[in-house]
Amino acid sequence: MIMSIGDLVLDITIVPAGQLRPDDDNQAVIRVGGGGQAGNFCAWAAALGSPVRLVTRVGDDDRGRRLVAELEAVGVEVLAVWGADPTGLIAVLVGPNGERTMATQRGASAGLRPTDLRKPWFNGVNLIHVPAYSLFTEPLAGAARAAIDLVRKRRGLLSIDLSSVAGLKEYGGGRFAGDLAKLKPDLLFATEAESETLGIGMDELARVAVLKLGSQGCVVAGRRVPSPQVKEVDPTGAGDALAAAFCVSYLDGATPTEAAERAVVVASGSVTKAGARPS
């Protein structure tokens, strides 16, 4: 069983047909669907056949109920805490070259507290995947650390994704590197830009470090694993797809290189459509 803890939000993804023209109409593909790094990771893990569980907090509103039902429908066990504040939103604007600009309203997800957790939720969990978003702000950060402790006490593995350059800079890259040195993750995922904020090599902070290179694949154990070349539509969620495929394969006994080879195939397929989740 794999678990993740953190955001479940609504994504509004806009993929314009060309360069945006100010003060004018612009043709675009617009998709509204589930998002949030923890939610996306779980959706991909479920699509790959793994039992997976999400611990999250959403608003007690129509949006939150739809998002939970959507994940449950694809096989994710959702352990939701219902809050009085609204469910979060992320607006994703995809540029003509695949670059993304995101505006985020995290909403209820950041309010998850350690006291919201229940010990039975952690029974049978072999790996917990924690987006760094879940470690940046309280009270969610306290809940994430409590969840990590519960999984570790049951001899489960810890996977962390650095998530966001902006979030790391606001929190402090060196500060987060210190956190990682204490947490000692088994798996650590990051883009090149995210990794650079730490000021220390990822290999010094985790048993297995996976450097995500986008369309160029990834680097693991000192080896670059190339990604299949595809026509990119929307890269949103590709990193979550890669992390999920890697974790599923690694738990199944694959070597880091074998897990990476599987992960880049899954991630490359994810960018050929709009949205952050499997079809």
Quote the distance between the C-alpha of residue 269 and its chain's center.
17
CATH at 44: 3.40.1190.20
Asked if the structure places residue 162 within a domain, the reply is yes
Asked if the structure places residue 30 within a domain, the reply is no
Asked if the structure places residue 182 within a domain, the reply is yes
Asked if the structure places residue 240 within a domain, the reply is yes
User: What is the pTM (predicted TM-score) of this model?
Assistant: 0.91
Q: In the prediction, which pLDDT does 233 show? A: 76
Asked if the structure places residue 19 within a domain, the reply is no
Cis peptide before 185 (omega within 30 of 0): no
Query: Which residue range(s) make up the domain with 165?
Result: 2-7+36-86+108-270
Largest separation between any pair of C-alpha atoms in the chain = 57
pLDDT (tens, 9 = 90+) of the chain, 279 residues, equals 999 999 999 888 887 777 777 876 778 778 887 889 999 999 999 999 999 999 999 999 999 999 999 999 999 999 999 999 999 888 878 777 667 777 888 789 999 999 999 999 999 999 999 999 999 999 999 999 999 999 999 999 999 999 889 899 999 999 999 999 999 999 999 999 999 999 999 999 999 999 999 889 999 988 999 988 888 877 777 899 999 999 999 999 999 999 999 999 999 988 888 777 787
Provide the domain count of the chain: 1
Asked if the structure places residue 46 within a domain, the reply is yes
Q: Which segments of 84-139 are extended strands (E)? A: 87-94, 100-107, 127-131
Asked if the structure places residue 25 within a domain, the reply is no
In sequence order, which residues have a C-beta less than 8 Å from that of residue 229 and are 6 or more positions away?
Answer: 215, 268
Residue 240: half-sphere exposure toward Cβ, Cα within 13 Å: 29
- CA atoms of 9 and 266, how far apart (whole Å): 23
Name the nearest CA neighbour of 205 among 187, 232, 181. 181
Q: In the prediction, which pLDDT does 113 show? A: 97
The order of strands in the sheet holding 218-220 is 76-83, 52-59, 2-5, 127-131, 157-161, 187-191, 208-212, 218-220, 223-225
- CA atoms of 91 and 227, how far apart (whole Å): 27
Q: In the prediction, which pLDDT does 98 show? A: 65
Asked if the structure places residue 210 within a domain, the reply is yes
- CA atoms of 249 and 256, how far apart (whole Å): 9
